[in-house]
Amino acid sequence: MAEDTVIAENAGGELMQDSVSRTLAIEMLDGVWKAGESLTLEDLQSRFGISRTVAREVAKTLESMNAVLVKRRIGLVARPFGEWQALNHQVIEWRLHSTQREQQLSSLTELRLAVEPAAAASAARLAPIDVKAKFPVYAAKMRQIAESNKEGEAGLAQFHDLDVEFHTLILHESGNELFAALSDTIATVLRGRVELGKYPMKPKPDALDAHDAVADAIAKGEPERARSAMLDIVDEVARALNFF
């Protein structure tokens, strides 16, 4: 396949391993490589023009996500998606770039609705004063970028970097280690929504207002107001994606 040749020619070492793993994972998610079907290391070497060492690393990567079962003399056996490490940020990224992207966005939005309002409330209660003071600064910078004349991809990228930092900080300052462990997952879906063109080129005023409200509530130590404002943020996402 032409795409396979490009991967082999342009990627080297770890990059080649990641590219091949991604291609095979998406093929499983799209049903091209069906659960129960197998590929040998020789199949991978021949198709992608990779060495035996890289083929083994691909097998290890997919096996670590529970995407395949590696059997001696059989090779890589595709597993049903229900057995994969669904919360792994790499699996989420693969799924967002497969034909299952809408389902993945829906599932992650439901997860955010369950987790982020509680995390915001906890951050308002538990975060140190100096950390609480950072949230209004983030919100103000995001509003400045959104409302300035900074149009196009550069300004939007800067806005979304701040948005990821804002939500990540809330999860880490919630005092709940499980919420904190989800920060990479939430960051992946925030970036994935942008990459997939599911975010408006100019952030909506309601979204900016909701971020201001979350930041102000956390800074002032008002848990219930922080919870409500965060619910507004994620609920707006759900409405924008027409999921609920």
Residue 13: its pLDDT value, please?
A: 61
Q: Are 162 and 145 in contact (CB under 8 A)?
A: yes
Q: pLDDT category, 7, cuts 50, 70, 90? A: very low
pLDDT digits (tens, 9 = 90+) for 205-242: 888 999 999 999 999 999 999 999 999 999 888 777 76
Q: What's the burial of 33, exposed, middle or buried (CB within 10 Å: 0-12/13-18/19+)?
A: buried
Q: What angle do CA 59, 62, 67 make, to 5 degrees?
A: 130
pLDDT digits (tens, 9 = 90+) for 81-137: 999 999 998 999 999 999 999 899 889 889 999 999 999 999 999 999 999 999 999
Residue 5: its pLDDT value, please?
A: 44
Residue 51: its pLDDT value, please?
A: 94
Residue 239: its pLDDT value, please?
A: 77
Per the model's pLDDT, the better-predicted residue between 153 and 64 turns out to be 64
Could you identify the residue written with the tokens 């080297």?
Answer: 12
pLDDT digits (tens, 9 = 90+) for 149-169: 555 556 778 888 999 999 999
How far apart (Å, rounded) are the C-alpha atoms in residues 102 and 114? Answer: 19
pLDDT digits (tens, 9 = 90+) for 179-215: 999 999 998 888 877 777 767 667 888 889 999 999 9
Q: Which domains does the chain have, with CATH numbers?
A: 2-83 (1.10.10.10), 89-240 (1.20.120.530)
The residues that bridge with 70 in the sheet, in sequence order, are 76
6-12 mean pLDDT: 45
